[in-house]
Amino acid sequence: MADRVYIFDTTLRDGEQSPGCSMTVPEKLRMGAKLVELGADILEAGFPIASDGDFEAVEAVAREFPWVQVAALARANKMDIERAAQALKGARRPRIHTFIATSDIHLKFKLKKSQQQVLDEAVAAVTLARQYCDDVEFSAEDATRTDWDYLEKISRAVVAAGARTVNLPDTVGYSVPEEYGAMIGRMAKALGNSAIVSVHCHDDLGLAVANSLAAVRAGARQVECTINGIGERAGNAALEEVVMAMKTRHDHYPYETKIVTEHLFEASQMLSSIITFGPQPNKAIVGENAFAHEAGIHQDGFLKERTTYEIMDPKSVGVPESKLVLGKHSGRHALAKRCEDLGIALTKEQLDVMYHRFTTLADRKKGVRNDEILKLAQEVSAGAAVAGLQK
Ligand code: MN
């Protein structure tokens, strides 16, 4: 299928290697189960040479979910690749993901190697990895700061050596959508049907999702991403955003993934319960406020017809329902709705009194809770009763 986009989840590898996100093997298995249920195509479970824990995690994830493709990361050297292969020994659908940096800046300062040396090592690594499994992915680390002619040359060479997926990451989050799309377009054209072009974007400029989508439009068919966008520094492209952009704007992004979007919120919540932090409240798709409305004009429109202010149905991502937050910007319509939901029957006059008291209270606070609304309503009803007696 030409328009099928594979979701390569790296929550358990790139995500896990960022501050506050490390996971034990049982935690990776728990998260892994959720990612499988979500429908991720490939799970990158760890970097086996990095630690025994990572080695065990790859082994365990592959054992627990044998029908899923499980990837293990390895630098482009013999020791790393053999360690990855060993961790994947029991896997039914193993993938070795090997990488080496290709940009001048990394070659000069980090690797201290020539372009030819790096190309030779990349080819040797892929050749070796292919001895252990058919499914080999090669990543040209810091691809976006690599000379395009050299990038094309090394991409062709690793495919000739047996790589089936060529990942061209924006490792440092430096690229912008137009530039990244052009680069991916050129490489996808060069490789044709010989390999899947993959992207892996970081969010240093807040462009990881935009860059990933531009790349898909340019021919990439694998997106590497994480739940809640966790990952090195500012994080990776957020899986939930990439997927929901393609689903909500299918007119613009006519591509299919296997993600069951109704599980997105649960996956986000589970990850938050495992690592040390959750998404910020205003995070797209899964943040606490992603489907919350406080402004009166918005609440009124929303109550008349949801789609006036919501482009996605919260249920489509697993959020039970939209929230109407009652605060100083809220209107009469939302207050009346809340009273009704709380089982309080008010006359029009009572609602007017109630609304006046409510705005006075809301002016002093960040939001008004249900128990405060109940108390106000009781006061208003009691006041009316007293007024009635005095007549
Ligand atoms: Mn990364």
Cα 74 to averaged position of ligand 1 atoms, centre (Å): 13
Cα 45 to averaged position of ligand 1 atoms, centre (Å): 14
pLDDT at position 384: 63
Give the contacts of 283 (CB within 8 A, at least 6 positions apart): 228, 229, 238, 290
Rg (alpha carbons) of the chain, rounded to whole number: 26
The amino acid present at 133, given as its one-letter code, is C
Residue 348 φ/ψ, nearest 5 degrees: -60, -40
Domain 6-274 matching CATH 3.40.50.300: the answer reads: no
Cα 340 to averaged position of ligand 1 atoms, centre (Å): 49
Among candidates 33, 80, 82, 90, which has minimal Cα distance to 58?
90
Q: Which helix (H) or strand (E) holds 241?
A: helix 239-248
Q: Please give the structure tokens belonging to residue 384.
A: 């009316």
Cα 171 to averaged position of ligand 1 atoms, centre (Å): 5
Cα 127 to averaged position of ligand 1 atoms, centre (Å): 23
pLDDT at position 2: 52
Cα 132 to averaged position of ligand 1 atoms, centre (Å): 24
Cα 92 to averaged position of ligand 1 atoms, centre (Å): 25
pLDDT at position 391: 45
Q: Is 36 left (phi over 0), alpha (psi -120 to 50) or beta?
A: alpha
Cα 211 to averaged position of ligand 1 atoms, centre (Å): 14
pLDDT at position 345: 87
Cα 117 to averaged position of ligand 1 atoms, centre (Å): 23
Alpha carbons 335 and 123: distance in angstroms, whole number: 66
Cα 2 to averaged position of ligand 1 atoms, centre (Å): 26
Give the contacts of 44 (CB within 8 A, at least 6 positions apart): 8, 9, 10, 12, 13, 14, 70, 71, 72, 73, 97, 224
CB atoms near residue 289 (< 10 Å): 13
pLDDT at position 342: 87
Cα 47 to averaged position of ligand 1 atoms, centre (Å): 12
Q: Name the packing angle between helices 148-160 and 115-132 (round to 10°).
A: 30
Cα 13 to averaged position of ligand 1 atoms, centre (Å): 9
**Span(s) in the chain for CATH 3.20.20.70:** 6-274
Cα 237 to averaged position of ligand 1 atoms, centre (Å): 10
Cα 231 to averaged position of ligand 1 atoms, centre (Å): 7
Alpha carbons 320 and 304: distance in angstroms, whole number: 19
Cα 124 to averaged position of ligand 1 atoms, centre (Å): 23
Cα 12 to averaged position of ligand 1 atoms, centre (Å): 12
CA angle 360-361-364, nearest 5°?
95
pLDDT at position 344: 87
The amino acid present at 22, given as its one-letter code, is S
Cα 14 to averaged position of ligand 1 atoms, centre (Å): 5
Cα 233 to averaged position of ligand 1 atoms, centre (Å): 9
pLDDT at position 383: 76
pLDDT at position 389: 54
pLDDT at position 387: 56
Cα 334 to averaged position of ligand 1 atoms, centre (Å): 44
Spans of the chain below 70 pLDDT: 1-2, 384-391
Alpha carbons 173 and 236: distance in angstroms, whole number: 9
pLDDT at position 366: 85
Cα 34 to averaged position of ligand 1 atoms, centre (Å): 21
